[in-house]
Amino acid sequence: MKLIRLLPTILLAAALAGCGTTAVPRPARPVAAPPPVTPRIVQHNSLVGQHAGAALAQFGKPRLDIAEGAGRKLQFAGAACILDIYYYAPKQGAEPVATHVDARTPEGRDANVDSCVSALRR
């Protein structure tokens, strides 16, 4: 009686055993590196498009100078505001230029970039 109950399971296992196939490995395709992304400039102020040397000449030694991946961030601070300037190369091998600038008050509120630049120059 036990054999009769197990018979469907045994037949199913035997049928499925013939269905197995051996996987054939495919040759690996080379993975193309994504093209470098050219930073898009969407701001217009006196610092955007300038090299880091221009900011260093205007404001002196930065409070922070940080490498962030392919970019660089310079931060300048004064009593009136804090200025963050982000630099990225417009194309591979080119010298990085400022592509974005943020200005804020010491309390963290948004500030006008050009006003902050003027305040930091004084």
Segment 85-112, tens digit of pLDDT: 999 998 888 999 999 999 999 999 999 9
Does 47 map to a domain? no
pTM exceeds 0.75: no
Rounded CA-CA distance 25/28 in Å is 9
Calculate the CA 63 to chain-centre distance: 23
Instruction: Specify if 13 maps to a domain.
Output: no
Residue 10 falls within a domain, yes or no?
Answer: no
Domain containing 101 equals: 52-121
The answer to whether position 111 is within a domain reads yes
pLDDT digits (tens, 9 = 90+) for 44-99: 678 999 999 999 999 999 999 999 888 999 999 999 999 999 999 988 889 999 99
Kindly state whether residue 116 falls inside one of the protein's structural domains.
Answer: yes
- CA dist 98 → 4, 10, 54 (Å): 81, 72, 10
Burial of 11 (0-12, 13-18, 19+ CB in 10 A): exposed
Give yes or no for a contact between 36 and 91, defined as CB atoms under 8 angstroms apart. yes
* 9 domain residue, yes or no: no
Residues contacting residue 78 through CB under 8 Å, at least 6 positions apart: 119, 120
Q: Which residues pair with 83 in a beta bridge?
A: 76, 103
Is the residue at 20 inside a domain? no
Rounded Cα distance between 15 and 65, Å, is 69
Q: Say how many domains are in the chain.
A: 1
Looking at the domain assignment, is residue 23 inside a domain? Answer: no
